[in-house]
Amino acid sequence: MKKILILLFLYVNVFAAGQVGDKAMNFQLPNLYHLDKKMSFNDYKGKVVLLNVWASWCGGCKEEMPLFVKLQNEFKGSSFSILLSNIDTNSQNAVSFLKGVDSHRTLHAVYDGDKILPRAYRCIGMPSSYLIDKNGRIVDVFVGSINENTLFKLKAKIKALLRK
């Protein structure tokens, strides 16, 4: 009976989605703007990161993008970064969309055409955002589009994490 319970526990954990308290996954993916250049999550060590899984075919993802640009500009010069992970089949769709929203390339972006990150985190909705602290632990998970109301709470959390 004990063994069955252990196996059940393992099973539940193996197939669970990315949750608060989990260690963020380390990855190496191409830069969305320069596909020949690789970006690693290790580059963000010691930083507070908002990892956003998005696609240009997802309406909610496009909706929240201007808010992210605004948020990143507010935290300019701090150790907070927004990292976009695009999962489009054609990366050019994402680049042309970002051209209109983030012409100064304020947001860092990687291209995840093989959908490695959403598979690893088992995203239950699009877009999904993961707030990761300086130690690389997931502090908060946002499923769905971030609106002004959520942004207010998110800002408070980022400020608290930056103070730590």
Partner 1 sequence: MYKLILIPILFFLTACSDRLVRVMPYEKEYLAQDKMKLSPVDARAEQEGHIFLIREASAGGESAFQGGCGCR
Give the footprint of partner 1 on this chain (CB under 8 A): 3-4, 7-8, 11, 15, 53, 55, 57-58, 87-89, 115, 118-119, 122-126
Q: How far is the CB of 59 from partner 1 (least distance, A)?
A: 8
For residues 101 and 71, is the Cβ–Cβ distance under 8 A?
no
Largest Cα span, the chain: 59
Contacts 24+ apart (CB under 8 A), 152-156: 154/50, 154/71, 155/71, 155/74
Q: How many CB atoms lie within 10 A of CB 157?
A: 15
Cβ proximity to partner 1: between 141 and 161 the closer is 141
Question: In whole angstroms, how close is the CB of 101 to partner 1 at the nearest point?
Answer: 19
Taking the complex as a whole, the smallest distance from the CB of residue 57 to partner 1 amounts, in Å, to 4
Q: Tell me the closest approach of the beta carbon of residue 15 to partner 1, in angstroms.
A: 6
Cα–Cα separations (whole angstroms), residue 20 to 23, 55, 69, 93, 130: 9, 23, 24, 31, 9
Q: For partner 1, which is the closer residue by CB, 80 or 130? A: 130
Closest to partner 1 by CB, 72 vs 86, is 86
Q: Which is nearer to partner 1, 1 or 152 (CB)?
A: 1
In terms of Cα–Cα distance, which of 44, 36, 67, 45 is closest to 54? Answer: 67
Residue 38 or 119: which CB sits closer to partner 1? Answer: 119
Helix/strand/coil (H/E/C) assignment for every residue in 75-95: CCCCCEEEEEEECCCCHHHHH
Minimum CB distance to partner 1, residue 1 (Å): 10
